[in-house]
Chains A and B, each alone.
Chain A
Amino acid sequence: MASTSKDGVPDGDKVAGNLGDDLEPGACSDSILNPEDTFEEFASELTPNLQERNILTAKSSTISEIQSEIGECSQLHGTKSSDNLQSKDESISASTSSSNLLEQNGDEADDKDDYLRSPELVNKEKHVFILSSAGKPIYSRYGNEDKLAGLCGVIQALVSVVEEQNQDILRSISTKDCKVVFLMKGPLILVAVSKSNESETQLVMQLTYAFNQIVSVLTLTQLNRIFEQRRNYDLRRLLSGAERLIDHLLIFMEKDPAFLLGAVRCLPLPEKSRENITNAITSTCNKIRDLVFAILIAGNQLITLVRMKKYTLHPSDIHLLFNLVRSSESFKTAESWTPICLPKFDATGFLHGHVSYISEDCQACLLLLTVQRDAFFPLSQAKHTIADKLRRSNCLVAINDALNRNKELPTTNPLKHIGIPEIRHFMYKCKSTAQLFTSDPICLDKLQDYRLRHKEGGDITEKKITKLSDIEHVRKYRKFCSQIHCTSTPAKLIFRSNSDDTILAWITNGFELYVTFDALMEKDQAIRAIDRLLHWIKREEERIFIMNAPTF
């Protein structure tokens, strides 16, 4: 656990200089999350060899490793996870010459254009299309993908022409107001058409998430096998229900900076309460030997995560779990037993999850993930024990207070509590634990609002925003974030001031910080404000972040 002493605190002048690395609120040597830098990863995502491009080889299966460790491998033939996935996925051999590419583009232009210009599709801020590498539509964010067969044909043709004739990989096309980003992953082609201010890397990240969402439902093994057997397979048959997950995920990604930063939001809780919750889980579950993860979440925030020794979860897998829980109303009514594939943890196989809300009067959801296929009853039993313990130790009240943003909590309105009026908004990521804290701990209603608003349209609007909501702040940070993480010309610090606001983005070895101040802010004033902000986060770190990494 990191110490809370203030020995390493730099004086105000050093902040925003090149010192300041010594103050790292939330830093913790032992992390429940795998803090591996997601940005690096997406950059490398972007630079594979042409030959490797169609071959998604998964690392050796973590799930089978766990199973063999437990020594019960023999009982588990049922799980496909141990199937050896080899680079069987043959490269696509659609033959399209450039001349018939243009024709195809032209011939279908009329009906295709008609549909793309229909009110369902026109003027959207961001389209996402997923198709098979044979050009069969699988998913479209708006409209009916059946009617988009023409468009998908053109996309497939473009991709394969670049690949075959130029021995190259299509990445993106852009106009002044629109970016089209392509991601070829295994047997799928994913395309984002965006008129937002997201960078290419950010869009690639979102497409990767969408791909992972599909993998999470099918496993990579199954996905590859399907298309090996039938290149022309209509994947929608297997994905019914997953469309909704992808819909929700896309909205979630636009709204929550957790994706932008590759970090997980934690529910701010008093240190003692979190400790009690964790103890309740460990004491109940330490006898259940196949349990890999026990995760308690609420409102897209992590409350605690207890794990099997040696294994950690990647933030992106947790995001998929958040999305699953948020998108599935059925979990609220009954205990569920569901297969879940966590692509970063092990893309080749399913974990089995017992998912249930902790009680009627508390919106926290407990996920117990195991490698055992038939562990529903022991896990159900464990859940009830945990729920009882939490109720008895008053933890449910603490969780509800945090969720309902009880006014007395310092984290409910951090800006007011810190008392720096010139700061309008901030977000902070602790790099070593991949956790994030923002000045507006999201409340459920807001997300719901955004979702409703989004359902109506997702249209581009030019409406003048009077008071910036957190979503608009996040929008503004996108450009800063992409410049900070730019692979060719990265920045360590950006201070930008104009007549609307002043934004400071700062990355050190320990953290990333984005702050919005009033317009035309003076530099020394900003430096002082940031210094106070960092000290406040340091003081509250035990509440804001999960500072330990409990195991069973």
Chain B
Amino acid sequence: MIDVNNKVNSFFIFNSTFGPREGEELKRILFFHPNQVSVDAQKMQVGLCEAVVKFMTTFSNEPCEALQTQSKRYIFYQPEKNFWMVLVVRIPYAAKTPSTPGESKEVIETSVIYNLLVSAYKMFRMFVGPFKDIPPEDIYTKCEQFFTPYIMSRNIANDLSNIIQGINYLPLEKNSFFRVVCFIDLLEITYPDFKCVSFVYNEQLIWNGLATNDMLTLYQYLVQTLLPKQVEKEIQGGAVTAAVRHGRFISPPEGIRTSEDLKNLPKVYLMREDDTEMKQYYLIIYRTLSATVCFTIDVNNTLDLDTFKSLDAFIGPKLSTIASSISEQCALHALQNAQISSSEHKFLYFNRLNLACKTSTPASLTPSTAVKPEVLSIIAGIHADRKSLGNYGEIIIKTPDEYWITGKSSNDREFYVIIQEKNANLKDIADEVKRVCEEQMKGIFFYPI
């Protein structure tokens, strides 16, 4: 949906209070991407946004969200007072549906771009800290160091999972889950300074110890940034297979062998489950086979290499056993799943409370796994307009090209099904959705049925 290289015109962060006087406009610009844009052009863009933000305060107490011109859409996000992040996307106003099929359509939901900004900020806050706590003289370089690689690495494909940002949980049978919990408990009792904040297998979450908001950010960091790199490394370096078996610290990237390495431990701002406010912690990430475990330790603790060595010895074998048993279970599960005829329709399930998200398996035999952007756009629209379905409700939308999109809501749960079917009527579609729902979401109740 968003091709960052072609569609994003610019991305910038400004704070008007940083250079209040005339002639100091450049100081207001904390970050500007792409940086080859001339200083004058930067000032002009930011100046326009400042004016628009101010103009809207006349009519609304809510912060400005979007500016649409003939050729571009500006999406605004104010994460902290006076700090504005703006993403400018090339979307022509009222783009007409091209008549020739196959032509790519430029459909981007504002909510999707807005979510991108929110994720960017949260990631920044987790690894660098809130804007207001950064000394003004450092903020320019900190933003540059963080946001340039961040924005360049974003790539949003036409996939269901990009509309709704959720977490993929791994369902486990109770004994295996119990084993994971026991392992975490034992570890926290043995090493009281350490707290386990997440347990991820492959890209699926099994256990979380963070407040919901931070959990998503950490999960996205693991799944989108850290783990793909790690997996690549593991595939390339055949020599490290032994280490893969036994487990090692993967953050900092060089592992922890000397006390020098301890200085490279990343610091993060987090709220753990029982925290009342955001605190700074060291983030330690350990990986064995496909299992990845994250720990935090308060920054006020003095780090000691011996603790880490003993931690390594403690976790390594235990985690390896657990990981193998989970792997067996996953294999079994996959086998069972293969027997249930995988639905030919695409679906998406989302629970707002725990952010659990499940989509139809992309590896199904359908020729094209990509979903049309218009369809995604409609789903994004339903998701963004929560009010219209209320606590329980249903919407069925038929597009001119015979796609039927069904959205159901039940308290904080949402379920979407995409069916492409000619000559169907409302009732046929409703019956089909009911079937998919029963098959895939056993035990979750949606009303109207």
Chain A residues with CB under 8 Å of chain B are: 13-19, 43, 46-47, 50, 98-99, 101-103, 105-106, 109, 112-113, 116, 127, 151, 154, 157-158, 161-162, 165-166, 168-178, 180, 193, 195, 200-201, 479, 483, 487-500, 520, 522-524, 526-527
Contact = CB atoms under 8 A, between A and B. Distances in A.
Contacts of A493: 396-398, 426
The 10 nearest A-B residue pairs measured at CB: A98-B47, A498-B393, A17-B425, A178-B60, A493-B398, A169-B70, A175-B62, A46-B94, A168-B69, A176-B62
A172 B423 contact: no
B402 A489 contact: no
11 contacts: A98-B51, A99-B43, A99-B47, A105-B54, A112-B58, A166-B48, A171-B68, A177-B60, A498-B389, A500-B390, A527-B426
Interface string B46-63: 011011101110111011
A491 B426 contact: no
Contacts of B424: 17-18
B396 A175 contact: no
Interface string B389-421: 111111111111010000000000000000000
Given A47-B70, A161-B48, A497-B448, 12 more contacts: A17-B424, A17-B426, A102-B50, A106-B54, A158-B52, A168-B69, A168-B71, A169-B69, A171-B70, A174-B65, A488-B105, A527-B427
A165 B97 CA distance: 29
B152 interface: no
Contact of A489 (B55, B70, B378, B390): B378
B69 A154 contact: no
A259 B272 CA distance: 54
A253 B256 CA distance: 70
B83 to A, nearest CB: 17
B48 A165 contact: yes
Contacts of B107: 488-489
B388 to A, nearest CB: 7
Contacts of A200: 68
Contact of A520 (B62, B72, B93, B448): B448
Nearest to A155: B55
Q: Pick the most buried of B50, B51, B67, B68: most chain A CB atoms within 10 A of its CB.
A: B51
Interface of B: 22, 25, 43-44, 47-48, 50-52, 54-56, 58-60, 62-72, 92-97, 105-107, 374, 377-378, 381, 388-400, 402, 422-428, 430, 447-448
A157 B51 CA distance: 10
B286 to A, nearest CB: 42
Contacts of A19: 423
**Main SS of the interface on chain A?**
mixed
A479 B388 contact: yes
A239 B75 CA distance: 38
B427 A487 contact: no
Contact of B94 (A43, A127, A178): A43
B48 A489 contact: no
B97 A162 contact: no
B449 to A, nearest CB: 10
Contact of B44 (A105, A165, A169, A171): A165
